[in-house]
Amino acid sequence: MPGVSYPRSWRTVLILLALAAVAAGCATRPMGEGPRVEERGAGAEPPPLLRDDVPAADLAPISPLLRAQAEQWRGVPYRLGGNDRQGIDCSAFVQVTFQSRLGIQVPRTTDELARQGRRVGRDELRAGDLVFFKTGFRQRHVGIYMGGDRFLHASTSRGVMTSSLNNVYWRRHYWKARRLDLDERPSAVSLSDESR
């Protein structure tokens, strides 16, 4: 075809593919995939933010802090690279939560978070543990375990919310969990995020 430069168009395609791969790094589902099973249930009613039937054994001192964060940030939209209420991605939400609620600095990216603390089995999860998912070939997602098989995260399609680890989608993509040392956190971090 006259006027078409194949080397330039191949370069453009490669650049676009590289950008798409980088943009999908924190996606909760592979790009182009339709709504998850979790999001299209009968009645299209969103799942409850938190369950009231969390067993007492799953409650921890960090639980009220995570519940307050969930209530305060619920519905904030997902935005890749975002780190505020205008839009936030999954790893930034973890970073903001640990900083504002626990006074603990954690890394900004999912890959860095996946190397923090120590690995724990799914049957050993405690509130405050980080849960990780492999949602595509190079895509990773992170959330904060809350107890009762629920975790708090920034979903690409519904923003900040809680989800069940027993959901078909999340159970299939579950990768691992890491426990950070929370024993050194300040003992009195405000439940009301006054800085926001």
Strand partners, 33: none
153 carries an active-site annotation = yes
Give me the catalytic one of 29, 36, 141, 173: 141
173 flagged as catalytic: no
To the query of whether residue 26 is one of the catalytic residues in this protein, the response is no
Q: Which of 101, 150, 153, 158 is catalytic?
A: 153
Q: Tell me which residue of 95, 93, 104 sits closest to 181, measured CA to CA.
A: 104
Spot the catalytic one: 26, 27, 66, 90. 90
**The tokens of 120 are what?**
């724990």
The amino acid that residue 75 corresponds to is G
Q: Which of 16, 21, 47, 17 is nearest to 155 (CA)?
A: 47
Sheet with strand 174-179: strands edge to edge: 118-120, 174-179, 130-134, 140-147, 150-155, 159-164
Q: So which residues are the catalytic ones?
A: 90, 141, 153
